[in-house]
Amino acid sequence: MLNKNVFKITLIIFILLGFTLCSFSLKAEEQQTPEKFTEYIYANYASENFEEVYANFADELKKIISEEEYIEFQKRNFNKYSLEYSSIDVNNLEELSYEEFKNKFSFVESKGNFYSIEVSYLLKFQRLGAREEETKKRVYLRQNNSDINNETTKKFHLFWDPEPIVKNEDSESVN
């Protein structure tokens, strides 16, 4: 009797785990809307999968900071403050012109469709004790369309302010 219950519980856990893994197994290029792409990025970010987040940075951003710099910076912050992201919600999509986007990110080089989208989440962290904070921020994306085998695919790229990493490098090099 006990073995049957253990087997059932184990089976249920594996089924639920399978559904969870399937939802993360979709690639960024399979996300066909800015909302879905942003959800995908934040799910990876919250899971500390910084390699995948960096892989979806715009090429212009990758010229400013390397993958190693980005990953080291994020790991250091996650460890230092014991960061936990949950209740991630994506909404309030706005389309931006190239000029508006260029004002925000002077390093943007190629054109496409530009978006700003709001991400809200619950952030748990350690700083002078355990804390929780509901946070909202704007995320910026570029969409490029390409035709492959007569099918139009949408490829999104993430833009992010590299200043915290660049500043950190400058201050470390001075010391």
* Residue 144 DSSP code: E
Residue-wise pLDDT for 21-53, tens only, equals 444 445 655 678 999 999 999 999 999 999 999
Report the number of secondary-structure helices (H) and strands (E) in the chain: 7, 4
Determine the 3-state secondary structure of 160 from DSSP: coil
* Superfamily, domain 29-174: NTF2-like; domain 1 (3.10.450.100)
**All structural domains of the chain with their residue ranges:** 29-174
The predicted structure's pLDDT at residue 153: 63
Residue-wise pLDDT for 92-122, tens only, equals 999 999 999 999 999 999 999 999 999 999 9
The predicted structure's pLDDT at residue 27: 63
pTM: 0.77
Nearest CA to 62 among 71, 82, 146, 86?
71
